[in-house]
Chain A
Amino acid sequence: MSATLHRLFLASLLRRRLATALSLFAIALGVALGLAVQLIHSAAIDEFGRGMRLIAGEADLQLVGARDGFDEAIYPVLAARAEVAEASPVLVIQARLPGREDALEIHGVDLFRLARVQPMLLPRAAAAADAADTRFAALQPDNIFLSDEARAHLSESQQLESGEFAAPALRGGELVLQSGVRSFALRVAGEVPAASASLAVMDIAGAQQHFDRIGVLSRIDLKLAAGVSAQMARQSLATLLPPGLSLRVPEAAASELSTLSRAYRVNLTMLAAIALLTGGFLVFSTQLLSVVRRRREFALLRALGMERRQLLRGLLAEGAAVGLAGGLLGVALGHGLAAAAFKFVGGDLGAGFFRGTQPQLQFDAMLVVGYLLLGIAAGVIGTWLPAREASRVAPARALKAGEGEYAGLPQVRGGWRPGVGLLVIAGLACILPPLNDIPIGGYGAVALTLAAAVLLLPTIARGVLPVLRRGRALSWRLAHARLSATPGQAVVAGAGVVASVALAAAMAIMVSSFRVSVDDWLAQVLPADLYVRASVSSGSGYLDGDALARIAAVPGVATVDTTRQVNLRISDEEPLFTVLARPVRGNWGLPLIAGSSERPARVNAADAAGEIDADLPPAWISEATADRRQIGVGDRLTLPLGGQLRHFIVAGIWRDYARQHGAALIESADYVALTGDQRINDAAISLAPGSDAATVAAALRADFGAEHLSIALPGEIRALSLQIFDRTFLITYLMEAVTVMIGLFGIATTFAALATTREGEFGMLRHLGFTRADIGRLIAIEGALTASLGVIAGLLAGAAIAWILIEIVNRQSFHWSMDLAVPWGALALFASSLIVLAALVARLAGARAMQRSAALAVKADW
């Protein structure tokens, strides 16, 4: 068999090089995209996990709470427990470097506890003149120790977004840092030799004092007594913990991050899957056409005694060979893509989840084998139907002379029923709930809709083609007649176009809806004239009452609104929950989609504690919160604030594109009353009539020092946010482009193959007086018509898929709702350029049919 296999089947792949190369390449691209997404992500997670392990050191358990930390009163309680062998308190500060845009992660540690729990963080003092100085250097509150990476980083000047350069933060052995709105300097007293990350270590008491965090810890790392398992300790210690704190194994941090980025990653993987699917379609159409062309060859082989099974196996081997080659190329390409991505955009896939990590590309044999198998599967599945078709042909019939060249092309007369059936199932799939935040039903519906669109292609052809019959030109007429008579050809050539157009259109509609909604949202949440912040929410810069008074005193400032943002830990598994505390004045800056800015008159009767609830303070929750917790207006919301569980009554739901894991907004006054926390992250300034934003900004900078504040106009924040938005979707545009290219390959291979099967037809037409140019036009028109059908079906499917993406996939994975905004112009341009391209591609691919001499072409075939 193997010689036969080689000569009859695999050799046929070499004979039709263009078609083989294109389907191989299509599979390779699908495999490469999927693999690259996976590789980039797992490398980034690995890198992050490595960093976590370094910091956690030998700790068995970590006590963690809100991002801003928790009351250190719990420390002696835990340290005294028998289960705990050693408890090491840590205060982590994201220290703002005045004037710079980066921050330094400072670990405030207790040196006496450090050695047994996190030896990697042990500082080493630089040799000093005085020996005693060296020994106690680490205990000095004004000393700080830098890892090599941090030192290198801080000694360099930094280019800011504005293009200017900020001076190095480390000058003459001193490091300048910011707390609140003032600067101070620490002495760099040595290094952290074992730490291979960009971080600094200092004494915890010094850190608390310098950064105004007296009595606050970020983490307590626990080493458990011999014989105590992490599981046991978690259970026995849980009862001691105030609300908002949780004990977890250090590895949990990495999985929390993985959860954060999962929905985005799954989204990209789906795009890659559609590219691979389009590649599968391509294999299907090229194999089908090649089988049609070799119909008589197979009939002869069967007549000469080849078994049906042998034929089937031979053909499947062809498909597998293409799939394997494509898979190998794809694996190589995927590693290349991942390496390039690390080099140019870092490991965050453009979405910012892993900003700052510098991951290493790793070879994962299992992953590679998995993707290779996917490639082979695409090849084999694509060949399955054509191979079965070929093996079923009765030899006698196929050998009969004079049978038209079209015999064997699928007479897809099949009605609309299967397609509509799939659509109905797709509709039902939309009702399925998400699994682990992954909208499986939604993705299933996307796949079903694509399949339905391909199946409905002949139906659409039958509906659309009669409308186009008007054309008078002969080429148009012939092309039209041919397509009307063989809608199967439209399926074969157009399937790839349908899939890629559907994908591109759906993404275009979704992204445009998203972008328009985000833009509107930004306009709504940024109602003030000027925004002032001392640093990002978790950083060491902040504003206090005194600073606010100074801001209000600046001439031209009418009112100042403040926002305090804290990240709370609600449960052991969930990512942090954001609470925004600010004055809620009417609808000012609050994009409500349900409820109102007033507290609800009626609380839900279902709540047993209705009477008490009536007095609870109001909270406005984001859509994600409402979705995840299944609560609505009038329901009760419970948050761990200031070490206690506090209850709120939900007054409204607002749209929030910034925090997909949930946020709630409460009145500043309520927040301060419940927590005593007076800090402020952002101030939103409304200007007095007639005053100018630039003048006010200049006055603020003069007062506080330009390096201590970032001041932005709402327009700037908006532009920056949209820029980030666009960068996030850049990678999806690239993937769409690849898929559309694969769709065009489909047109190319089909027309190249058809051109060969139709040499007789073209030869006859040349005899009748067609010029070469006429034939070229005929092929181009057929290409354009085929593509048009594919584009129509693709646009219809794309609209349906866009709806699924917006209403199901986005709602379930990101909990974002958005308003539909169809980019009509862009879609029309895309559709028409695709049709023109298809005409061109078909014309190029069909060129061979025109080269052959007309005289030879009309000879009785064979």
Chain B
Amino acid sequence: MDCHFLLLPPMLTAHALRKTLPGTPPRVLFDTLELQVGAGECVAIVGESGSGKSTLLNCLAGLEPVDGGRIEVGGQRIEGLDEDAMARLRRSAYGFVFQAFHILPHLSLVQNVALPLWLLRTDDKEAEARARTMLTRVGLGTRADDPPHELSGGEMQRVAIARALVHRPRLVLADEPTGNLDPVRASDVLDLLLEQIRDSEAAGVLVTHSRVAARRADRVLELGVQGLVDITERA
């Protein structure tokens, strides 16, 4: 394990995080959860189905409220932010990769990748140039102007990775990014995702069911009611 992250202040800090589900009695998904991810570091989160992995990612993205604890992204607290402020923060500081890709079919690849830059009101020319560079980095440089419906699932996810990183976010969240891909593609895409996150010095949190995939991350954490347990050695 590279140790230099530990010397820098962490990109993402979650402290004493608590999430319960409404119901009688309320079900505790996790309590006193601690998580720190440094710049250029990637952690994989594994756990049983229904253990709350997706919920944790949503909490980290400010899309779901937590019942206690503190979340800091790049030194900024997010739990108190209102919805619009959180949306603005997501524009600049977050990148997402989804299991279902969510590439807009009516935009070309380069436009899809440029979407976050448009949101940040980057100059059009610069946005396009950066999107093209990003597409080249994920190996789709020659197809930048194609419509998305011609792509395979693996290629779609590469576009999604390019979109998640084009605006140099501080934190990249990926929920089962390889869930819809066959094993060979999955491993390619995963390599690419990890490599890009490290290159852009972002913090990466990815949720996966695949042990093989998890092993490529810098750390592997298992989610349980007590929080996250580091199982890197066992994995």
Contacts and interface: CB of A to CB of B under 8 A. Distances in A.
Interface of A: 401-402, 404-406, 472, 474, 477-478, 481-482, 484-486, 760-761, 763-764, 766-774, 853-855, 858-861
Contacts of B81: none
A482 B104 CA distance: 9
Contacts of B54: 855, 859
B146 interface: no
A769 B58 contact: no
Given A761-B102, A772-B83, A854-B63, A401 B96 contact: no
Contacts of B124: 472
A404 B100 contact: no
A484 B104 CA distance: 13
B116 A769 contact: yes
B99 interface: yes
Given A767-B61, A860-B100, 10 more contacts: A404-B105, A404-B149, A481-B104, A482-B104, A485-B105, A760-B102, A767-B90, A854-B63, A855-B61, A860-B179
Give the one of A402, A472, A485, A854 with max B CB within 10 A.
A402
A770 B119 contact: yes
Contacts of B180: 401-402, 860
Contacts of A477: 118
23 contacts: A401-B180, A402-B156, A404-B105, A404-B149, A472-B124, A478-B107, A481-B104, A481-B107, A485-B147, A486-B106, A761-B102, A764-B96, A766-B63, A767-B61, A767-B98, A768-B90, A768-B96, A768-B116, A769-B88, A769-B92, A771-B83, A859-B54, A860-B180
A771 B88 CA distance: 8
Contact of B102 (A401, A472, A858): A858
Give the one of B92, B100, B147, B156 with max A CB within 10 A.
B100
B141 interface: no
Contact of A861 (B91, B92, B100, B118): B100
Interface in B62-102: 63-64, 83-84, 87-92, 94, 96, 98-102
B111 A481 contact: yes
B87 A402 contact: no
Nearest to A858: B98
B87 A770 contact: yes
Nearest to A760: B102
Contacts of A855: 54, 58, 61, 63-64
Nearest to B116: A768
B142 to A, nearest CB: 21
A485 B107 CA distance: 8
A768 B61 CA distance: 10
B87 A766 contact: yes
Contacts of B171: none
6 closest pairs, A vs B, by CB? A769-B91, A485-B106, A764-B102, A855-B58, A769-B90, A860-B100
Contacts, number: 91
Given A474-B119, A485-B105, A767 B153 contact: no
Interface string B5-25: 000000000000000000000
Interface in B175-191: 179-180
Contacts of B102: 760-761, 763-764, 858
Give the one of B88, B99, B148, B156 with max A CB within 10 A.
B99
A854 B99 CA distance: 14
Given A402-B100, A404-B149, A855-B58, A768 B119 contact: yes
Nearest to A403: B149
B99 A481 contact: no
Contacts of A760: 100, 102
Nearest to A764: B102
Contacts of B94: 767, 769
B144 to A, nearest CB: 15
Interface string B32-60: 00000000000000000000001000100
B115 interface: yes
Contacts of A485: 105-107, 147
A854 B98 CA distance: 12
A853 B64 CA distance: 9
A481 B106 contact: yes
B148 to A, nearest CB: 8
A770 B116 CA distance: 10
Nearest to A861: B100
Contacts of A763: 102
A763 B92 CA distance: 17
A139 to B, nearest CB: 92
Contacts of A854: 63
Nearest to B111: A481
B138 to A, nearest CB: 18
Contact of B100 (A481, A484, A858): A858
A728 to B, nearest CB: 48
Contacts of B84: 771-773
A1 B84 CA distance: 50
Given A769-B119, A853-B63, A860 B99 contact: yes
A415 to B, nearest CB: 20
A761 B118 CA distance: 16
Contacts of B99: 859-860
B174 to A, nearest CB: 11
B106 A484 contact: yes
B63 A768 contact: no
Nearest to A400: B153
Contacts of B87: 766, 769-771, 774
B68 to A, nearest CB: 19
A485 B147 CA distance: 10
A510 B133 CA distance: 58
Nearest to A489: B106
Nearest to A474: B118
Nearest to B100: A860
A405 B147 CA distance: 15
B24 to A, nearest CB: 22
Nearest to B105: A404
A569 to B, nearest CB: 69
A487 to B, nearest CB: 11
Nearest to B88: A769
A861 B98 CA distance: 12
Contacts of A771: 83-84, 87-88
B88 A402 contact: no
B204 to A, nearest CB: 16
A540 B148 CA distance: 84
A93 B30 CA distance: 99
B116 A767 contact: no
A838 to B, nearest CB: 20
Contact of A764 (B88, B89, B98, B179): B98
Contacts of A402: 100-101, 153, 156, 180
Contacts of B91: 768-769
Nearest to B85: A771
Nearest to A770: B87
B159 to A, nearest CB: 13
Contacts of B118: 474, 477
A859 B119 contact: no
Contacts of A769: 87-92, 94, 116, 119
Contacts of B111: 481
Contacts of B116: 768-769
A768 B115 contact: yes
Nearest to A486: B106
A486 B105 CA distance: 10
Nearest to B106: A485
Contacts of A770: 87, 119
B40 to A, nearest CB: 22
Nearest to B57: A855
Contacts of A478: 104, 107
Contacts of B92: 769
A766 B119 CA distance: 11
A859 B63 contact: no
A745 B180 CA distance: 38
B6 to A, nearest CB: 30
Nearest to A405: B105
